Chain A
Amino acid sequence: MFKRFAWIGAGAAALAPAGSGPALAAQPLPWQISFQPAASPVMEQIQWFHDFLFWIIVAIALFVLALMCYCAVKFNEKSNPTPSPTTHNTTLEVLWTAIPILILVAISVPSFRLLYFMDRTDKPEMTLKAVSHQWYWSYHYPDHGNLNFTSNMIQAEDLKPGQPRLLAVDNEVVLPVETNIRVLTTSEDVIHNWAVPAFGLKVETVPGRTNESWVRITKEGTYYGQCSELCGLNHGFMPIQVRAVSKQAFAQWTEEAKKKFAANLEPESVRVAQAR
């Protein structure tokens, strides 16, 4: 059962980029210079904000460069042997204080809107809990009979064709699309960070705390992320893999997964008692 299921998951991940309709495999590509494609409203807005801000900062940098080049050409020793004695110009000084303030205000309005939009969702339809360990993840679905399992990176020698090295895991997180998902994170040992770039998600997992964020995945597909807080030896080797499927497929998956991970379904207290 376990083996068969893992193979199907891997097969789906491998097929996804080949073009099965809306499916998307968001992972870094060679020589990529920009964001991974957005798969959530939050990431779409981050991309919008980045594009907006990008042209402002490029304009600022080019403006400074142009001024410096002008100085180098017009005011070098040969072109201008006699330096001007000017050391003050109140108008100019007021302007270069006031204009940056206006630019910053213009930036901060969409920035604050985005910040408050990203913070949490009012109407979560389900919850995913990600718990970090040195050096793997465990995932809990408290709304689906406390379904839970651990997720380890697949070692390079065990990779199947199509599985990206250092990103593919044995048990991926499966989530439904078009669903408001509350994401809770915590840690069992040191601080880690649960991050999926295509979702614009990056949540620190802190022992003793539960952090909340949310995601609404807009496209089916497989998405990858990596631990984003230095957590010791294998920090670079505890990736995150999320497969987003239709709501029906998700319902079906939860039933299969409950059977597959049946051993994990016992209440925590029982397992702890048995372990002793």
Chain B
Amino acid sequence: MAYGTSDAHGSHDHHPSGWKRWAYSTNHKDIGTMYLVLAAIGGLVGGLMSWLIRLELSQPGLQYITDLQFYNVLVSAHGLIMVFFFVMPALIGGFGNWIVPLMIGAPDMAFPRMNNISFWLTAGGLVLLLTAGFTAGGPGTGWTVYPPLSSNEYHPGPAVDLAILSLHVGGAGSILGAINFIVTIINMRAPGMTMHRMPLFVWATLVTAFLLVLAMPVLAGGLTMLLTDRNFGTTFFKVAGGGDPILWQHLFWFFGHPEVYIMIIPAFGIVSQIVSTFSRKPVFGYLGMAYAMAAIGVIGFVVWAHHMYSVGLDVNTRAYFVAATMVIAVPTGIKIFSWIATMWGGSIRFDTPMLWACGFIFLFVLGGVTGIQLANAGPDMAWHDTYYVVAHFHYVLSLGAVFGIFGGFYYWFGKMCGRQYSEAAGRVHFWLTFFGVNLLFFPQHFLGMAGMPRRIPDYPDAYSGWNMVSSLGAVVTIVGTLWFLWLVFRTFTAGEKAAANPWGPGATTLEWTVPSPAPFHTFEETPRIAPEPAH
């Protein structure tokens, strides 16, 4: 999709300086940068927790973490931080804020002040969650916060309340951010950019924003009920008062399943941009790709109870959820094959972003096919709550969404900071991470097949072999992460000046028409998109 644009970068960069520039920021690029920094902090803290978990699990017995509540807090906080304060701020808050206005030729987001409060609410959520971890033993409930374990009887003290408030605050930030994206994308596209000509990353952000607006309030409602159960004597989830703990699971997963698509759909968008750019071809089957994401979003709302096959649902209910869940494979398959068809016949350059995108496609397929297995309620009884599930969702998230984040980072880093990373160093980072995460997560399929339950601090001795291999994989990812931090540091201090478009003729979206780094204000004059060439 080639856009002809009028010249749109005659900006005179005057903006507040010092801390006010950031704290009071209403600029989509600055807010995007702050989201990325928040995501980096969240990712490092959540990653550190996972490495502590892998350290403890590297051999049988309790060696390093003898406080079992602390182990459960690590497991819970790792999940919550990675979901709410790493993947979401990076993909939606970070790349969404930075790139969506540039891609649609808008001068900024529709509600710049709301953008500011979205960010600070999210940041406040992370602070609250970390506070929860250090208060009254911490919340050892898992990221799913199932009552009765999360009720005041089994988790007295303020830790779970703080975690609930953290999700409330972070969730409010997400809802406001999502409204902002919807309004911006619908109203502020440059003339000529019809909905069906938006870049796929913009489509992905739009679908994600709708998922957020619909799913987050359900979580907020459930959390409020849990909060009043804990503090004000209500009994929504308490059997003694006529409540039902399974109700929480329905509410949580009604949010929780769309949430996994909230994390992966923006990565779909990024991968589409990268594959098209580096194959020097427009995306194959553009409309199919856009509507596949919309379909995944819609179906994602009606499959939640496949997380609950063992809780005692009626067998017909389970049969429905099996069927609905398997349907998701169809639009997902369309996306996978369309990416490959985009590459087919292309003139592909395997620069670092393309490596991450290809890694994403293959590893997402691996996580996807184990998802097909888990969708079947019958055999799922062999896998439910085992490491098979851990392997599955880390393949689609830790190797899917996170590969999307890194792909997007290398793709747009030059545009954001004005300096180009070292290509060789980027490739080393990719291969270290690719090798590390596969070594880390692939053996977990074996552990799950053999029956090892999730969320246990110690395991029967027979599981020690693959656990040790898995922990070695974690060591490799630590090396990869340190390498990445060094790479970022080197890029800032010694990176070459980035060109406006470092990727050549394949990069056709509007962000490549503005200089690197993108000036403080862009598109003060609205660009005009050339009419679509006749087919």
Per-residue A-contact encoding for B108-123, CB less than 8 Å = 1, 0 else? 0000000000000000
Quote the shortest CB–CB distance from B259 to chain A (angstroms).
19
Per-residue B-contact encoding for A118-152, CB less than 8 Å = 1, 0 else? 11000000000000001000000000000000000
Contact of B340 among A29, A33, A67, A208 (CB under 8 A): A67
Contact of A228 among B284, B386, B460, B466 (CB under 8 A): B386
Contact of A203 among B146, B283, B310 (CB under 8 A): B310
Given A166-B458, A203-B310, A84 contacting B345 (CB threshold 8 A) = yes
B362 contacts A65, C-beta separation under 8 Å: yes
Of all chain B residues, which has the CB nearest A239? Answer: B460
A57 contacts B285, C-beta separation under 8 Å: no
Bound: A3/B381 CA distance, A: 36
Quote the shortest CB–CB distance from B348 to chain A (angstroms).
5
B279 contacts A202, C-beta separation under 8 Å: no
User: Which residues from chain A contact B338 at a C-beta distance below 8 Å?
Assistant: 93
Say yes or no for A233: interface residue by CB 8 A criterion: yes
Given A64-B340, A87-B284, A49 contacting B379 (CB threshold 8 A) = yes
Segment among A188-196, A242-250, A256-264 that sits at the interface with chain B:
A188-196
Of all chain A residues, which has the CB nearest B361? Answer: A68
Q: Which of B314-342 contact A (CB under 8 A)?
A: 315, 318-319, 322-323, 326-327, 329-330, 333-334, 336-338, 340-341
Of all chain A residues, which has the CB nearest B464? Answer: A30
User: Which residues from chain A contact B378 at a C-beta distance below 8 Å?
Assistant: 45-46, 49, 111, 114-115, 117-118
Of all chain A residues, which has the CB nearest B154? Answer: A190
A112 contacts B319, C-beta separation under 8 Å: yes
Bound: A53/B456 CA distance, A: 29
User: Which residues from chain B contact A75 at a C-beta distance below 8 Å?
Assistant: 279, 343-348
A230 contacts B141, C-beta separation under 8 Å: yes
Bound: A202/B382 CA distance, A: 7
Bound: A202/B350 CA distance, A: 46
Say yes or no for B449: interface residue by CB 8 A criterion: yes
Per-residue A-contact encoding for B62-92, CB less than 8 Å = 1, 0 else? 0000001100100100000000000000000
Contact-residue size bin, chain B (C-beta under 8 Å from the other chain): 35 or more
User: Which residues from chain B contact A82 at a C-beta distance below 8 Å?
Assistant: 347
User: Which residues from chain B contact A33 at a C-beta distance below 8 Å?
Assistant: 445-446, 449-450
User: Which residues from chain B contact A233 at a C-beta distance below 8 Å?
Assistant: 68-69, 72, 140
Segment among A16-24, A95-103, A170-178, A268-276 that sits at the interface with chain B:
A95-103
Bound: A266/B262 CA distance, A: 55
A226 contacts B453, C-beta separation under 8 Å: yes
A166 contacts B347, C-beta separation under 8 Å: no
User: Which residues from chain A contact B361 at a C-beta distance below 8 Å?
Assistant: 64, 68
Quote the shortest CB–CB distance from B254 to chain A (angstroms).
18
Of all chain B residues, which has the CB nearest A52? Answer: B379
User: Which residues from chain A contact B452 at a C-beta distance below 8 Å?
Assistant: 28
Given A57-B372, A76-B348, A77-B349, A107 contacting B460 (CB threshold 8 A) = no
Say yes or no for A161: interface residue by CB 8 A criterion: no
Given A28-B460, A101-B330, A60 contacting B239 (CB threshold 8 A) = no
User: Which residues from chain B contact A107 at a C-beta distance below 8 Å?
Assistant: 326, 372, 376
B347 contacts A83, C-beta separation under 8 Å: yes
Q: Which of A146-188 contact B (CB under 8 A)?
A: 164-167
Segment among B126-134, B298-306, B363-371 that sits at the interface with chain A:
B363-371
Per-residue A-contact encoding for B148-189, CB less than 8 Å = 1, 0 else? 110001100000000000000000000000000000000000
Say yes or no for B245: interface residue by CB 8 A criterion: yes
Say yes or no for A6: interface residue by CB 8 A criterion: no
User: Can you show 10 pairs from A to B with CB atoms below 8 A apart?
Assistant: A29-B462, A64-B361, A68-B343, A72-B358, A75-B347, A76-B350, A82-B347, A115-B322, A115-B377, A191-B245
Given contacts A84-B281, A203-B312, A226-B460, 11 further A-B contacts (CB under 8 A): A28-B450, A71-B343, A76-B348, A83-B347, A104-B327, A107-B376, A201-B381, A207-B239, A228-B453, A230-B72, A236-B453
- Residues of chain A having any CB pair with chain B under 8 Å: 27-36, 42-43, 45-46, 49-50, 53, 57, 60-61, 64-65, 67-68, 71-72, 75-77, 80-89, 92-93, 96-97, 100-101, 104, 107-108, 111-112, 114-119, 134, 164-167, 189-191, 193, 195, 197, 200-204, 206-209, 211-212, 224-237
